Chain A
Amino acid sequence: MAQTTGAFTLSNQKIEISTSGWPTGAIDISGVANSLEISGGDTSIVKAFTFGTGTPILAPGTKDDLKIKAKMLYSENTDDNYATIAAAYEATPSTPVQLRFSPKGGTTGNFRFTTGTGYIVSHPYPSGDAEGKDFATYEVTFDVPSITRSTI
């Protein structure tokens, strides 16, 4: 196979959140998001043994929920939407949120990954040290049931 010419970095990734569906409620958070880390989503496996053989029969089961941890620059500018994100966590019950991200930048023809409706499950409060080495940041974790890939 010839070596790929389509690899790229995530620097141009576009990330949006919404508390009121797509596309009207889309809030672009690419300009404050520093990193995105996705975990979970494991497929469970149903397994059974039968007499006379040493290996099991496997069948795919359900998929687990996914955790999306986003590290963000803490900013109090209205346009940076910290208050919206914090309010979604602080509401009782928590405000439903959706997330979508496009690794290549969100232009026509790019893939886009959209989550099902989930919730922010970790606090969004800024933390750090006094050394002044880096930006003030906060982290939020979204718990979502699924991620669906589409083409813009």
Chain B
Amino acid sequence: MTGLALSTLKQSTHSADLPVRVLSLIHKGDATAKGSTFGATSAMTVRWTVHDLLLWKAVGQGEGLAEYEPDLADYMVGYVDWLRTNRIQGNKMTVELVSMTPGVFEWPAGGGNQYYGVDAVLTVNEVI
């Protein structure tokens, strides 16, 4: 599945670009960090929330959600399968939680273009 680098983000996404995934901190991402030891150079836990937004097809194309729903379900199943073997990255980073919501999403926010897709929200814990 194609991913968009920040430098190639477009104001609108054309049909030829689809499907595409958008991972961006600006798209509702956040991070919290807390110190875990005494002293000036504390070990820390950082919790990242990252939205991984799949834009599958533009609303208005094809037969609509009924046509694309199996594709979106396959995507979500594949996502979970991938996580099964990649949830733990080394000893210091773990995908703690993933929630996926299929539906219709506007991209970019306020741009007026709507797409069928899946919004996967990953909570990633990293110890540094």
- Of the candidates A30, A31, A131, A135, the one whose C-beta lies within 8 Å of that of B127 is A135
Interface size on B, residues (CB 8 A): 17
- Of the candidates A13, A15, A132, A135, the one whose C-beta lies within 8 Å of that of B96 is A132
Chain B residue nearest in CB terms to A137? B36
| Interface residues in A8-25 (C-beta closer than 8 Å to B) | 10-15
Asked if B61 lies at the interface with its beta carbon under 8 angstroms from chain A, I say: no
Interface of A is mostly: loop
Asked if A33 lies at the interface with its beta carbon under 8 angstroms from chain B, I say: yes
User: Contact between B38 and A132 (Cβ–Cβ < 8 Å)?
Assistant: no
Whole-angstrom CA separation of A151 from B126 in the bound complex: 39
User: Contact between A12 and B125 (Cβ–Cβ < 8 Å)?
Assistant: no
Shortest CB distance A74–B (Å): 11
- Of the candidates A11, A134, A135, the one whose C-beta lies within 8 Å of that of B38 is A11
Whole-angstrom CA separation of A31 from B36 in the bound complex: 9
Q: Contacts A132-B88, A132-B125 known; A30 to B96 CB distance under 8 Å?
A: no
Q: Contacts A131-B96, A133-B125 known; A32 to B37 CB distance under 8 Å?
A: yes
User: Contact between B38 and A14 (Cβ–Cβ < 8 Å)?
Assistant: yes
Report chain B residues within 8 Å CB of A32.
Answer: 37, 43
Chain A residue nearest in CB terms to B89? A132
Asked if A147 lies at the interface with its beta carbon under 8 angstroms from chain B, I say: no
| Contact indicator per residue, chain A 119-132, by CB within 8 Å of chain B (1) or not (0) | 00000000000011
- Of the candidates A12, A73, A131, the one whose C-beta lies within 8 Å of that of B40 is A12
User: Contact between B125 and A14 (Cβ–Cβ < 8 Å)?
Assistant: no
18 contacts between A and B (CB under 8 A): A11-B38, A11-B39, A14-B39, A30-B37, A30-B38, A31-B38, A31-B43, A32-B37, A33-B38, A34-B36, A73-B36, A73-B43, A131-B94, A132-B87, A132-B125, A134-B36, A134-B125, A135-B127
Give chain A's interface residues, CB within 8 Å of chain B.
10-15, 30-34, 73, 131-135
Question: A31-B37, A31-B41, A73-B36 given. 12 additional CB < 8 A pairs?
Answer: A11-B39, A30-B38, A30-B39, A31-B38, A31-B39, A32-B37, A132-B94, A132-B125, A133-B96, A134-B127, A135-B36, A135-B127
